[in-house]
Amino acid sequence: MTYKDLKIRIVGTLVFAFFYRHIGERGLFLDLIQTWQYYWDMLACILSTLLFWEIAKRVVLYADKQYPWEKELMKRAVFQWLTVFGIITPIQIVLIFLYNFYIIHRPENFDVAVVFYTDVPLVWLLFSVMQLIYALMYFQNYTQNIENQQFAKEYKITTEYQQLYVAHEALKAQFAVLQEHFPNKNEAEKAELPPPITTPQEQHLLVQQGNALIPLALKEVAYIFKINDFTLIRTFDKKDFGIDATLEKLEEILPKVDFFRLNRQIIVAKKSIKQIKPESYGKLHVELTPTYEDEAGVSRTKAQEFRQWLGLNL
């Protein structure tokens, strides 16, 4: 299990360190920030928090492997809590003792016992919150992984179905050729044969090449995209052509079975889709071939329609 926790660690460390320093403080904040001692204390609190956080996270990663939350909830909770504070607490006590007696010079009337009474329980509270955050992140990642596995399974089944469909169409085409060269003597049976199919790949778009207009077969189109106010077509052999039409107009005339409008910026051909990756909140990221430089994403509201277009709900 991996955690994208950099921002959480930065913000959490600063917040934890602030509370760590100010708990039990009776002095005014404006007075405190005018002394060097305050900044030394804040630095010590930040470094201590970073150390404690690193220890706690390593315990969390170890527990992820040994006691997954979804399998051993109670054992995991008890093990993680006791291990984290069983390691952090003695280290914290040693650091408090060393800092207050050997690193800085406290007044003679300074009562270090008060520090122990306030700081140790505070660290327990703060790092209990920290462990709760990681538990929530764990279940979020766990749920996302299940969805990814389900999506990959459905996509694999659909890909196999499409391969069978292509093989079926190829056999139909071969059968039509045989019927043409070796006609059946029974004219009635011959009349019942289906007419030749004109596929969408035999259609063309009129595109710009320099100062000329040339026909471009749809089977060569990988995707159509916008750059500012210009509409460009990219072919499978990585050539770009301009076209005097909007994506909205092209969306109306292109065959729906072969082309799909992912978002406001791009229409893709089914054959150009290389890989699909689910993202957070139900969004989908689509990798294309040839490579598309910008974001080819499908929103959560359009993801179901995109899956149906691919045949994932068959």
How many CB atoms within 10 Å of residue 60? 22
Task: Dump pLDDT digits (tens) for 256-276.
Answer: 999 999 999 999 999 999 988
Rounded to an integer, what distance in angstroms lies between the CA atom of residue 155 and that of residue 166? 16
Give the type of residue at 277: K
**Angle, helix 36-66 to helix 73-98, in steps of 10 degrees:** 150
Q: How far apart (Å, rounded) are the C-alpha atoms in residues 178 and 202?
A: 22
- Neighbouring C-beta atoms of residue 56, cutoff 10 Å: 20
pLDDT, tens digit, 9 for 90 and up, residues 51-92: 989 999 999 999 988 888 888 889 989 999 899 889 988 998
> How many other CB atoms are there within 10 angstroms of residue 234's CB atom?
22
Residue 200 confidence (pLDDT): 44
- Sheet (strand 259-263) strand order: 212-217, 204-209, 240-242, 230-235, 221-227, 266-269, 259-263
Distance CA 46, CA 61 (A): 22
pLDDT score of 203? 80
Would you state the pLDDT for residue 237?
93
The token duo for 252 is 């109306």
Spans of the chain, pLDDT less than 70: 1, 105-112, 114, 151-202, 312-314
pLDDT value of position 195? 39
Q: Which domains does the chain have, with CATH numbers?
A: 6-146 (no CATH), 200-310 (2.40.50.1020)
Residues 267 and 133 sit within 8 Å (Cβ to Cβ): no
DSSP notation for 220-274 = GEEEEEEETTEEEEEETTS-EEE-SS-HHHHHHHS-TTTEEEEETTEEEEGGGEE
287-299: b or e for each residue (b if 16 or more CB lie within 10 Å)? Answer: ebeeebeeebbbe
Residue 278, preceding bond cis, omega within 30 degrees? no
- Residue 71's CB: how many other CB atoms inside 10 A? 8
Angle (nearest 5°) at CA 79 between 78 and 80: 95
Neighbours of 151 (CB within 10 A): 17
Crossing angle for the helix pair 112-181 and 36-66, nearest 10 degrees?
50
